[in-house]
Amino acid sequence: MNAFQPSKPPVQPRQKRRVTSRPKRHLRQRSYQVMALETTAKIGVNLVISAAAASTLAQLLPYHWLQQEKLREIRTEVKLMEGRVNGLYAEFNRDFDPRQAKSIMQEQGYRFDPNQRQVVFPKDTTAVERP
């Protein structure tokens, strides 16, 4: 066992790496500035959107009120026409009712049932005024 054995280098203690610490204060301050800038931009964009919405509402409200007024007028006219249509429908049903044919003929013409006597009130030409 006289073989040659490789020589081992002497064991040297490992040197620890030196970590250079960054100034954390500078990074925090920078991140706060970025956050402040981002928040300011968000607020600005939201203000612009809010102003646009308010402007649009200001333009649309008078139009909305006008349309509501027109709708009220139309509903009123519809109610009047419904009453008129109902009256005409009732008259139509009456005109075509065979049980009322005689009375309708008497209303619309001067023909009377032979068994019926016509009552005529004479105009009083000799009317005397009383004091």
Q: 86 and 97 in contact (C-beta within 8 Å)?
A: no
Residue 101's nearest CA partner among 87, 116, 115, 111 is 111
Q: How far apart are CA 49 and CA 54, in angstroms?
A: 9
Q: What is the pLDDT of residue 61?
A: 95
Give, as one character, the DSSP assignment of residue 115: T
Could you count the other beta carbons within 10 Å of the beta carbon of residue 105?
13
pLDDT tens per residue, range 89-102: 998 888 888 888 77
pLDDT tens per residue, range 61-75: 999 999 999 999 999
Model's pTM, two decimal places?
A: 0.44
Q: How far apart are CA 2 and CA 71, in angstroms?
A: 117
Q: What is the pLDDT of residue 123?
A: 81
Q: How far apart are CA 61 and CA 54, in angstroms?
A: 11
